[in-house]
Structure 1
Amino acid sequence: SSGQNVLPQIRGEYRVWYNPEQKDAWFESTSHILRMTTLFAILLPAAALVREKERGTIEQLLVSPLTPFHIMASKVLAMTLMIVGAVSVSIFGVLGPILHVPIAGSLPLYYCIMVLYVFTTAGIGLFAATLARNQAQVGMMTILVLVPILLLSGVTTPMEAMPKWVQYVMIFSPLRYYIEITHGIFFKGAGLASLWHLVLPMGLLGSATFGFGVWRFRKQFD
């Protein structure tokens, strides 16, 4: 009847934050860059150090005033500059003009965290270099290390969907933190205030892996 109140119709609509058009290319392209960054950050410093061992020049470096830390840090620094350059080409040459991936946050902050991440993963590669005798062994060790890091990063399967014990193991995957940080800066415009809880454990992992690599290197040639 006319005296009855008519309730308005309610229609539910889904809204996707930060990627409203649900473009898979945004996620896939950034994730691919992060995977390649991880590969090169592990492989390049390790290969450079093993090359010194193959040529016999590592002994010459050890008798110089340089410490094992200086020797390993020089390899990491050179490769870091190469990786930063390659990532810059990807961001400004592919992600932005071709795929139109947004960069909502601070690029200087992203570059600072990227350097920290390269330092973290390079420590893993340098430790592998102390175990390898030639370039072929470095390549095999890189694959053995890289596969678990990728599987435990949350790229293919979200962390929440994994068993509890796997989630605890993922704490030791530096790529897991770097992926969350990158997507937070690119898509959400996140700053350091909301990312410090990811940056801190990644930095601690980097200090541990690099320190362990220096210790193993010093022990090998003492």
Structure 2
Amino acid sequence: MNPGRLFGLLGKEFAQMLRDPVVLFLVVWLTTVEIAMCTLAVGMDVKNLKLGLIDHDRSAASRALTEDLTSADSFILAGLFTSERQAESGLKTGKLDALVEIPPGFGARVASGRQVSVGVVVDGSNADVASRARAYIIEMTARFAQARLMGSMRMTAGVQPAVRVWYNPNLTNTRFEALAMLAQAGFMLAVILPAAGMVREKQNGTLEQIRVTPIRAHELFLGKVLPPVTVTLGSLLPSLLVLRLLHVPMNGSVTTFLGLEALFLMSAVSIGMFVASVTNTLQQALLTSFFSLFPLLFLSGSVSPIESMPRWLQIASEASPLRHGIAIVTGLFLKGAGMGELWPHALALALIGAPLFTASWLLFRRQW
């Protein structure tokens, strides 16, 4: 290997990427604006649900239950009604997400410690919103009943769990979404940049010109692999500021983060080079890249929990570099984990990336 030729190729690739406004816009957009926008828009936390109320009791207890339901940011009181029929139009038009009906004698039954039922109607047209609204109401009414029961009995006998939540005390999904978007942005860039750069050489005819120069295949291969990894790794640094603005703590080591991210990005770049070797136009490269990205995205655990997948898909998800990339960033940022805890994911990335890198090199060498 000739260092002069290699550094010349690296300089050419860096100059080509950094003077392309489309590439610069894509890099900046994916690693800053899209992380913030998708985190705030795609978060799974459901807030400010529109709650309708029918209070047949109008007692201090019913007013206390109403206050408990609407005191947090889960529900906002969207209307008071006298009957379910009157509130039905609100559910049909989307002005209400849920309806709570408090029966007559509610306060007297609560005060005497007797069982009492509260009617709940939830708009099930959006299953995710409906399930969360139902869970919120069940949790809040159970907490209300327990507090009232303890107050009336003047005792705290029994087993009471003392729950402490580590790493995400508020149980919001924003932090995980932000870190998942960070991993996804880096992965997408590391796949698309080398694929697009290599195919552009084919379309412009410059690859044929390079072949008649003293440049060797392995030098050109490294010249196409190293710049996308370096640019993507550098573009993740502004993402740290975005994560800070989204209140995502960095409890781990930045050095460990950059080292493991480089390993993660190598597997993504290998996919990009493989795509570039089997396509001839930019359109083909982009379509093939997205065709490979979406299955890996769905198997990463960022769209739905891996535990909820069928067993065979859980096993298949181990082959997704994105799954291990997300596990690494969440472990580093939220848990303060180091190599002692993250080495299984680093090993998995090495085992995934090595055959991908070898396959892309062999295919590239065959076409050289």
Q: Same fold (TM over 0.5)?
A: yes
Which amino acid letter does the alignment assign opposite residue 210 of structure 2?
L
User: In the alignment, which of 287, 290, 297 is matched to residue 150 of structure 1?
Assistant: 297
- Report the counterpart of residue 31 of structure 1 in structure 2: 180
Using the alignment, how far apart are the partners of 2:162 and 2:215 within structure 1?
A: 63
Equivalent position SS for 2:300: coil
Using the alignment, how far apart are the partners of 1:24 and 1:109 within structure 2?
A: 24
- Report the counterpart of residue 141 of structure 2 in structure 1: none
Shift in Å at residue 188 of structure 1?
Answer: 0.7
User: In the alignment, which of 230, 253, 256 is matched to residue 81 of structure 1?
Assistant: 230
Which amino acid letter does the alignment assign opposite residue 188 of structure 2?
L
User: In the alignment, which of 192, 207, 210 is matched to residue 357 of structure 2?
Assistant: 210
Equivalent position SS for 1:139: helix
Which amino acid letter does the alignment assign opposite residue 266 of structure 2?
F
- Report the counterpart of residue 160 of structure 1 in structure 2: 307
Using the alignment, how far apart are the partners of 1:68 and 1:166 within structure 2?
A: 37
Which amino acid letter does the alignment assign opposite residue 208 of structure 1?
P
- Report the counterpart of residue 332 of structure 2 in structure 1: 185
Shift in Å at residue 19 of structure 1?
Answer: 0.3
Shift in Å at residue 62 of structure 1?
Answer: 3.1
Shift in Å at residue 68 of structure 1?
Answer: 2.5
- Report the counterpart of residue 3 of structure 1 in structure 2: none
Q: Does 1:117 align with 2:264?
A: yes
- Report the counterpart of residue 57 of structure 1 in structure 2: 206
Q: Number of residues paired by the alignment?
A: 214
Q: Does 1:100 align with 2:247?
A: yes
Which amino acid letter does the alignment assign opposite residue 168 of structure 2?
N
Which amino acid letter does the alignment assign opposite residue 189 of structure 1?
G
Using the alignment, how far apart are the partners of 1:158 and 1:68 within structure 2?
A: 42
Name which one, 1 or 2, has greater alpha-carbon Rg. Answer: 2
Which amino acid letter does the alignment assign opposite residue 215 of structure 2?
L
- Report the counterpart of residue 193 of structure 2 in structure 1: 44
Deviations 1:113-133 (A, max 9, x none): 111111111101100101111
Unaligned runs of 5+ in 1: 1-5
Which amino acid letter does the alignment assign opposite residue 212 of structure 1?
A
Shift in Å at residue 206 of structure 1?
Answer: 1.2
Which amino acid letter does the alignment assign opposite residue 57 of structure 1?
T
Matched-pair contact (CA < 8 Å) for 1:117–1:178: yes
User: In the alignment, which of 216, 225, 228 is matched to residue 67 of structure 1?
Assistant: 216
Shift in Å at residue 10 of structure 1?
Answer: 3.6
- Report the counterpart of residue 26 of structure 2 in structure 1: none
Using the alignment, how far apart are the partners of 2:262 and 2:268 within structure 1?
A: 10
Report sequence identity in percent: 35
Per the normalisation by structure 2, the TM-score is 0.56
Q: Which has the higher contact order (CA 8 A, sep 6+)?
A: 1
Which amino acid letter does the alignment assign opposite residue 186 of structure 1?
F
Equivalent position SS for 1:157: coil
Shift in Å at residue 146 of structure 1?
Answer: 0.5
User: In the alignment, which of 151, 156, 161 is matched to residue 12 of structure 1?
Assistant: 161
Matched-pair contact (CA < 8 Å) for 1:68–1:214: no
Which amino acid letter does the alignment assign opposite residue 120 of structure 1?
S
Which amino acid letter does the alignment assign opposite residue 226 of structure 2?
L
> CA RMSD, aligned part only?
1.7
Using the alignment, how far apart are the partners of 1:7 and 1:148 within structure 2?
A: 51
Deviations 1:74-128 (A, max 9, x none): 2221112221222100112x111x1121111111000011111111111011001
